[in-house]
Amino acid sequence: MNIEKAIKFIQKNCKADDYFIYIWSKDSHETRFAQNTITQHIAGTNTKLGLEVAYGQRTGKASTNQLDEESLRELICTAQDMAISNEPDPEFMPSVGPQKLPKVQNLHKSTSELKAEEMVELVRKSIANAEKHKAMVSGMTEKHLQKSIIVTKNGFYGEADFSDFGHSMTIKRAENETKVSFNDKNYANFKLSKELDRLNEQLDSLSAIKSFEAQKIPVIIRPAALAELFGYLGWTLNRRQADEGFTPFTGQLGKSFFGKNFSLYSTLKDKDILAPPFGNEGLAAAETCWIKNGKLLNMPNSRYWAAETKSEPSNMFNYYVPGGETTEAEMMKMVPRGLIINRFWYIRFVDAKRGELTGMTRDGVLYFEKGKIKHAVNNLRWNEIPHEVTRRIMAMGPSQLVEAYAKIPTMLIDDFNFVDKTSF
């Protein structure tokens, strides 16, 4: 049974007062490599169908990866039986009705037509580059074609197709290790030579590492690191959590709380950024400014909490941070000395209510002085509060696509708080 027939079968046989059907399917090809050898190629399709039903405010959920009639009958019975047995859900919201969805292009021919042989050739060239530099490289080349469908009893139907290409490389020579990664919905934007040049440049910059003590110091943070940092900001920028007093944004809506140079959008206008036309609750995506020149204008808001607070529901479906025109070379001349950060990892909360995070640098840290890179330094642990970081933005470069869903600039940040040295 195909997806269309499976939906019609559920619509015909589900007896609940309300239902919400979601279908997610993915056709994937992944070529993994490690220590200059291809280790695995995985290809296949995976489909998941979920059903949430309601009798009044009593709800039940079930899911399956089989679309035959017997599996669908079992799915319906399981969800309905659970709902009948459950206590009423005080936060239940009826399923959404018909909506006008934005027209977006998330599926690209260049990605869907990419062949496995071409992916293997990209890996082969990546390995040849590592061997030329007497190094070992590991990583993955991947392509995914995805479909998402939501259907409700109240008349909503949404269908979206996505393509995704990624190529990541971690190169190691002796004790020095660094990484670059590319992720885009459009394979046509990928240039292996550009990524190899970036990888080789980062590796060569780590040839001499000197000890550096933790301290507050200006930093140039590249987009890959900022995507990891601001990802946590996006997770905490939640209207309900703020209203209930669990985040630093309590009482800050409509106020200038971030740095005046910082803005954050979810956008449908930038064709480079992945933009799903609807969210998990079936809400149509809409152009949204979350933060404008430091002022907190909107916060992601569930349908339930929007009804409770008489506000509008909203969904943060991608990240766009407008940048500037300052180059890294110009940034290095703006401060007497500082560090250049490639990536962060192991980011964790220290204090969620204050918004304080801790994490470590990785993939190379460079020390510069008087406008020139001097040498690499050891990795460092840091403690920072993202919204306070935005208040110390001194300059920004052009925004760059760092993940399919995120476009972020390089930033020069004053007095970044490093608290310890790390050995990895």
pLDDT in tens, 15-48: 999 999 999 999 999 999 999 999 999 999 999 9
Range of the domain at 38: 3-199
pLDDT at 343: 97
CA-to-CA distance for 167 and 193, rounded, in angstroms? Answer: 12
Determine phi and psi for 15, rounding to 5 degrees: -100, 0
Same domain, 172 and 294: no
Same domain, 194 and 215: no
CA-to-CA distance for 403 and 273, rounded, in angstroms? Answer: 8
Q: Which of 249, 210, 229 is nearest to 383 (CA)?
A: 229
Encoding tokens for residue 170? 């971690």
Same domain, 267 and 391: yes
Same domain, 88 and 20: yes
Same domain, 314 and 411: yes
Q: Which helix (H) or strand (E) holds 52?
A: strand 37-55
**Residue 61: is it exposed, middle or buried by C-beta count within 10 angstroms (0-12/13-18/19+)?**
middle
pLDDT at 207: 87
CA-to-CA distance for 110 and 115, rounded, in angstroms? Answer: 10
pLDDT at 123: 98
User: What is the SS3 assignment for 36?
Assistant: coil
CA-to-CA distance for 284 and 20, rounded, in angstroms? Answer: 15
pLDDT at 296: 98
Q: Which of 158, 402, 157 is nearest to 274 (CA)?
A: 402
**For strand 372-377 and strand 209-210, is the pairing parallel, antiparallel, or unpaired?**
parallel
- The answer to whether the CB of 362 falls within 8 A of the CB of 379 is yes
Same domain, 79 and 129: yes
pLDDT at 362: 95
pLDDT at 208: 86
Same domain, 133 and 21: yes
Residue that is last in its domain, among 199, 218, 244 = 199
For Cα atoms 81, 83, 89, give the angle at the middle one, nearest 5 degrees: 165
pLDDT at 52: 98
Q: What residues in the chain have per-residue pLDDT under 70?
A: 1
Q: Which helix (H) or strand (E) holds 288?
A: strand 288-292
Find the Cα–Cα–Cα–Cα dihedral 263, 268, 274, 278, rounded to 10°. 110
Q: Which of 216, 153, 209, 192 is nearest to 414 (CA)?
A: 216
Classify residue 278 by its DSSP letter. Answer: B
CA-to-CA distance for 339 and 222, rounded, in angstroms? Answer: 11
pLDDT at 424: 78
Same domain, 224 and 126: no
Determine phi and psi for 217, rounding to 5 degrees: -155, 150
Phi-psi region of 251 (alpha: psi -120 to 50; beta: other; left: phi over 0): left
Residue that is last in its domain, among 175, 199, 223 = 199
Classify residue 97 by its DSSP letter. Answer: -
CA-to-CA distance for 46 and 64, rounded, in angstroms? Answer: 11
CA 393 to chain CA mean position, Å: 22
CATH of the domain at 26: 3.30.2290.10
Same domain, 214 and 338: yes
Encoding tokens for residue 102? 């934005």
Phi-psi region of 415 (alpha: psi -120 to 50; beta: other; left: phi over 0): left
What does pTM read for this prediction?
0.94
- The answer to whether the CB of 159 falls within 8 A of the CB of 22 is no
Same domain, 127 and 237: no
Encoding tokens for residue 360? 């470590």
User: What is the SS3 assignment for 74?
Assistant: helix
CA-to-CA distance for 353 and 79, rounded, in angstroms? Answer: 37
CA 251 to chain CA mean position, Å: 27
Give me the number of domains the chain comprises: 2
CA distances to 73, 84, 347, 424 from 155, rounded to whole Å, are: 22, 23, 41, 53
Same domain, 411 and 318: yes
Same domain, 309 and 333: yes
CA-to-CA distance for 151 and 96, rounded, in angstroms? Answer: 9
Residue that is last in its domain, among 141, 172, 199 = 199
Classify residue 182 by its DSSP letter. Answer: E
Classify residue 155 by its DSSP letter. Answer: S
